[in-house]
Amino acid sequence: MPPAPRPLYLQLRDAVAAAILRGTYREGAQLPSVRALAAQHGANPLTAARAYQLFQRDGLVEVQRGIGLFVARGAAERLRRMERAAFLETEWPVLRERLTLLGIPVTALGEES
């Protein structure tokens, strides 16, 4: 059974997190405004603001009043640790169970089909 879709604000958060991890937004880089992020993803600005609040809560962005949001120093490495821990705690057990049900050994994941 496929997992339930994540709420839109979490999808926006995931998209920005991926961009930080890929280096699209490096330390000190300005993030898109709330309105720009919302427009890019066809979302309400309040939804985009909620996504950015998660980054603020975790200390991954710095707010410069009247200017915008900027990626905090060390954000990519902290984010990578947080994402890795969340994956191992929530996603990996489900994925491992699915592999077991389908008879796919974990060692086969590195092989090309």
Q: What is the pLDDT of residues 22-64, one digit of tens each?
A: 999 999 999 999 999 999 999 999 999 999 999 999 999 999 9
Confidence (pLDDT) at 106: 87
Give the type of residue at 18: A
Confidence (pLDDT) at 108: 83
Confidence (pLDDT) at 107: 86
For residue 3, tell me if it sits in a domain.
no
Domain of residue 66, CATH code? 1.10.10.10
Q: How confident is the model at residue 2 (pLDDT cuts 50, 70, 90)?
A: low
For residue 1, tell me if it sits in a domain.
no
Model confidence, pTM: 0.83
**Which residue has 């200017």 as its token pair?**
67
CB contact at 8 A, 31 and 25: yes
For residue 13, tell me if it sits in a domain.
yes
For residue 54, tell me if it sits in a domain.
yes
Number of domains the chain is built from: 1
For residue 33, tell me if it sits in a domain.
yes
Q: How confident is the model at residue 73 (pLDDT cuts 50, 70, 90)?
A: very high
User: Could you say which DSSP state residue 6 is in?
Assistant: P
Which domain covers residue 42, as residue numbers? Answer: 8-110
